[in-house]
Structure 1
């Protein structure tokens, strides 16, 4: 039996803003959106399927997103330049456009909550 990652929790201040970013700008599919206590349980999945993001409401005293330091969530696309152009046109802000590194192509983008993410090329 192989272990896989089914979901990753992303702590957000505003669940609706996060949902709008991931579904409208990034093109993710909403797989769950239901009441969860005083908040909502929201899961989104990349267009090609795979690991889902849980847009989890951060509580008081939770740490703020790291500034100027990409998180350890890496997204990949077969054509990073095409993905960069498509996502930029949808309103996704890139802090670093696609760049050839010694390990491969890499770009960095931010969501509307201030989290930074890597985008690589398969």
Structure 2
């Protein structure tokens, strides 16, 4: 068993797709604008190893899911209002990413901080979520 896809609820999937690909650097795995459907993947990832029977399409997708369901909207808004990240992205160097994204206009909650689990920083994706960057 392996992770195939997870989702993050966003206010506007098209705008989120633009931010996640254009600013954060993810790649499009699937885009169907007519259905308001966008799935992104890690940049440069390509998993066609034996556990995937040599087939393409082994990438883990992140569905940028519309928050038009009242339950989803309540969850997304509750996390945001509490200042809690909706998802964590691993990066090799949080401080370098913080600097790059700040220069691109991304708003962070504060400077990167370090604790026993590693270095992290939290930013606003502009689509209704806080996202945590983590480096261990």
Which TM-score band (shorter chain)? 0.7 to 0.9
Q: Whose helix fraction is larger, Structure 1's or Structure 2's?
A: 2
Shift of 1:102: 2.3
TM-score (norm 1): 0.82
Gaps of 5+ in 1: none
Q: How many residues align?
A: 118
TM-score (norm 2): 0.75
1:55 equivalent among 53, 61, 64: 64
Does structure 1 residue 43 correspond to structure 2 residue 39?
Answer: yes
Aligned-residue Cα RMSD (Å) equals: 2.0
Q: Look at both structures and tell me which one has the larger radius of gyration over its CA atoms.
A: 2
Gaps of 5+ in 2: 46-58
Runs of 4+ in 1 over 6 A off after TM superposition: none
Deviations 1:39-72 (A, max 9, x none): 3221011225353210111225232432233235
